[in-house]
Amino acid sequence: MTTVGILGGGQLARMMALAGAPLGLRFLVMDTSGEACAGQFVPMVVGDWRDENALAEFAQRVDVATFDFENVPAESAEWLAARIPVFPAPGALGVAQDRLAEKTLFRELGIGTPEFAALETREELVAAVARIGLPCILKTRRLGYDGKGQFRLKTKADIDAAWAALGAQASKVGLILEAFVPFEREVSVVAVRGKDGEFRAWPLTENWHRDGILSASMAPARQAEALEPQALAFAQKVADSLGYVGVFALELFVHDGQLLANEMAPRVHNSGHWTIEGAETSQFENHLRAVLGLPLGSTRPVGHSVMLNWIGEMPAPSPALSSPSGHWHDYGKSARAGRKVGHATFRANSRSSLAADLSRATEGFGRSAEFAEVLSRLS
């Protein structure tokens, strides 16, 4: 029986293991915390990412390794790759970990991005703001996710506050200034590439964020026909250039009818959670198929889907479970501000049925106002 090792023991590893059980797979998770939620279902090695003894134990017990967390140090991934198969390859992980390397790659592939500039000093920040213009966003080049490691500058008066917030990180993980894009909406391509180079993608997904964290996703996106061919072509260019194996997401801004790349995630992605109920093969199963060299499954959608992300604490499940289209996912995490603790997916054969079910459910959650825009775009 094949054992898949997962670096990172969060909800993505948990859902991957649940998807792999029907395939007859076993799993081993490695995480720095013994409280990681995937450990409620699968065995776990607890240790620092740079602890070679823990990495060696992990390597000895698995046949192939993958990730649920993109901030595993690239050198740790390389150490493992010298001993066992690791997918995606450490090189792809390294590019996705560095916003400068990532955006440079996008530009080299002919994929548009917001204007950006790398910097290390306050003087360089002042010069970059003058060149790029306001508003703009100062970000750490590494280790940022879900809105962490970012500071939005609206006026020149914000330069000092931005440097106070992130300047200490300049020598550790690097900084990058990016132009703010007044986008009409955000979309993502969740795609999979097999060991043989086969590429498949799920329908273009429309996303909403709250405080830098994904709040809701809708698939297929509205009016996707005009954008999807280019979005999928961009994703395939990225995957092929990196020799990527597995599932990844390419996040895009829609601005003046054009697509600009924001970033990629080298793993299964929050905006692809709807595929569990809403596609013929979920992103989790297809990721496992890819890293094991198995034939990829169909990415065709089954009707229309909306995923609602639960941040901080779980609501009562009844409004979702009483809906004919509702599906509930509790990650088994304790409540904490800003923490992804679960999601609900609503799937129906028509947008009108989905809108009706979602409207009733969000009223039951007492959160109709929060998801009003999602509902309006289903109409």
Which range of residues forms the domain containing residue 361? 185-378
CATH number of the domain encompassing residue 374: 3.30.470.20
For residue 296, the 8-state DSSP code is P
Domain match, 126 and 273 both = no
Question: What's the pLDDT at 171?
Answer: 86
Q: Looking at the domain assignment, is residue 107 inside a domain? A: no
Crossing angle of helices 90-97 and 99-108, rounded to 10°: 100
Tell me the percentage of the chain whose pLDDT exceeds 90: 92
Q: Looking at the domain assignment, is residue 261 inside a domain? A: yes
Order of all β-strands in the sheet with 175-179: 116-119, 175-179, 136-140, 150-153
Reduced to 3 states, what is the DSSP secondary structure of residue 34? coil
CATH number of the domain encompassing residue 53: 3.40.50.20
Question: What's the pLDDT at 173?
Answer: 87
Domain match, 247 and 363 both = yes
**Each residue of 83-141: pLDDT tens digit?**
999 999 999 999 999 999 999 999 999 999 999 999 999 999 999 999 999 999 999 99
Question: What's the pLDDT at 96?
Answer: 92
**Each residue of 187-234: pLDDT tens digit?**
999 999 999 999 999 999 999 999 889 999 999 999 899 999 999 999
Question: What's the pLDDT at 144?
Answer: 67
Q: Looking at the domain assignment, is residue 300 inside a domain? A: yes
Of the pLDDT bands very low, low, confident and very high (cuts 50, 70, 90), residue 149 is: confident
Domain match, 153 and 232 both = no
Average pLDDT over every residue of 24-47: 97
Q: Looking at the domain assignment, is residue 110 inside a domain? A: no
Domain match, 154 and 121 both = yes
Q: Looking at the domain assignment, is residue 93 inside a domain? A: no
Of the pLDDT bands very low, low, confident and very high (cuts 50, 70, 90), residue 379 is: confident
Counted domains in the chain: 3
Of the pLDDT bands very low, low, confident and very high (cuts 50, 70, 90), residue 70 is: confident
Of the pLDDT bands very low, low, confident and very high (cuts 50, 70, 90), residue 12 is: very high
Is the pLDDT score of 145 beyond 80? no
Exposed, middle or buried by CB within 10 Å (0-12, 13-18, 19+), for 289? buried
Q: What is the mean pLDDT of the chain?
A: 95
Phi, psi of 307 (to 5 degrees): -110, 130
**Each residue of 304-351: pLDDT tens digit?**
999 999 999 999 999 999 999 999 999 999 999 999 999 999 999 999
For residue 334, the 8-state DSSP code is P
Q: Which amino acid is at 54?
A: A
**Each residue of 197-207: pLDDT tens digit?**
999 999 999 99
Q: Looking at the domain assignment, is residue 103 inside a domain? A: no
Those residues with Cβ within 8 angstroms of residue 224's Cβ, 6 or more apart along the chain or in another chain: 187, 203, 204
